[in-house]
Amino acid sequence: MNTAKEYNITLGLSHEDIMSLLSGEINTFNFVPTEDTDYDDRISVSIKEVEEDTPLSECMNLSVDNG
């Protein structure tokens, strides 16, 4: 029995966002609910540079606060 979970993430970024990432201006995106959204979850995505041979466990971390 395989208990592995598969996570798929698509992050849509504008050209300006990508340029800001490349220049080092930003490294975190925060998605927070507003009166115009249909969700209550808060999502924070941080991006960091790693070496090519960095283990997956150091490249990705998912934490969920079910508070």
More confident residue, 65 or 2: 65
Q: How many residues does the chain have?
A: 67
**CA nearest neighbour of 24 among 49, 43, 44, 45:** 49
For residue 16, the model assigns a pLDDT of: 93
Q: Please, what is the average pLDDT of the chain?
A: 85
pLDDT band at 61 (very low <50, low <70, confident <90, very high): confident
**pLDDT > 70? residue 25:** yes
Task: Give pTM, 2 decimals.
Answer: 0.62
Return the DSSP state at 29: E
For residue 67, the model assigns a pLDDT of: 66
**pLDDT > 90? residue 41:** no
